[in-house]
Amino acid sequence: MMALGFVAFLSSCSPDESGTNGLETGQMDASFTITPIDGSANRFRLTANNNDGAIKHIWNTGGTDMVTGEYIDIFLPDIDTYTIRHTVTGIGGASVSAEQPLNVTTADPIAGNLIHGGKFKTLEDYNQFQILTISAGGTAWSYDATNQWATIQGGGWNQQGIFQAVQVEGGKTYEVNMRVKGLGSINTWFELYVSQTAPTQGNDYSADGKRMQINTWAGCGGSPYDGLFSAVQCAANETSGRFITFANSGTAYVVVKCGGENIGSVSIDDVEMRRTN
């Protein structure tokens, strides 16, 4: 009798077949709406459509999970297509999720990244940049779809650049940086320029001086490296480094060029240019 009673007690405390202590996931709703805040192109409110049975809402905009209530206000300063994920957790740990794409087409004028496609997620991103032909051949930029990088390889003392035009305001300061990864080069230079002087095909580029550089003669780039350009560079800046203030509003050009005897492979990712004031 005692054994039978114990079994009955266990049965009465066991969760149901869904493993959710009485709450079926089918009863939960993770759908949500996305609403611009005050017509902003970069601020949005995410709102759960139904709060029934929910004890926790988890929102993810492509980064870290955020645990909050049935709505959340977010700020997305960069042009991109974001995957918004909403997970509702109920009694006993039951959870359901829903996703929606959110396409941000305008960068925030201050916090936004002026560079388009700088994460190189797709070939379309890579094609936001233009190739600057300097030497006849032997060195070339290409898109590495596997690692989602823009990569330059070659040598023979040839060089090639990659660049993008951006719109800037006079009197404002901007910061430029990117991730740079190299496998180790021989007699190679890798340089960043930012200027309102336009590059021209078939010609070298050095307008307004190097902002940052990796240079094997100066002691870096000969062995593997991976980090922010501002951190891995080793040669003294000819100008103000990664911070640039423009005298006039208009078009500026962010140019990266590389050349040398044997480049091996140098890649860039997370290219950014943001206003700081």
Exposure class string for 88-97: b at 16+ Cβ within 10 A, else e: bbbeeebbbe
Cα–Cα distance for residue pair 270/25, rounded to 1 Å: 39
Tell me the pLDDT of the chain (277 aa) as tens digits.
344 443 333 333 333 333 344 445 567 899 999 999 988 899 999 999 988 888 999 999 987 888 888 999 999 999 999 999 999 999 888 899 999 999 999 889 889 999 999 999 999 999 999 999 999 889 999 999 999 999 999 999 999 999 999 999 999 999 999 999 999 999 999 999 999 999 999 999 999 999 999 999 999 999 999 999 999 998 766 666 899 999 999 999 999 999 999 999 999 999 999 999 8
Q: Residue 79, by phi and psi: left (phi above 0), alpha (psi -120 to 50) or beta?
A: beta
Integer Cα distance of 142 and 149 in angstroms? 9
Q: Do 56 and 67 form a contact (C-beta atoms < 8 A)?
A: yes
Question: 3-class SS at 223?
Answer: coil
| Burial class of 228 by CB neighbour count within 10 A (0 to 12, 13 to 18, 19+) | middle
What is the rounded distance in angstroms from the CA atom of residue 20 to the CA atom of residue 14?
10
Rg (CA), the chain: 26
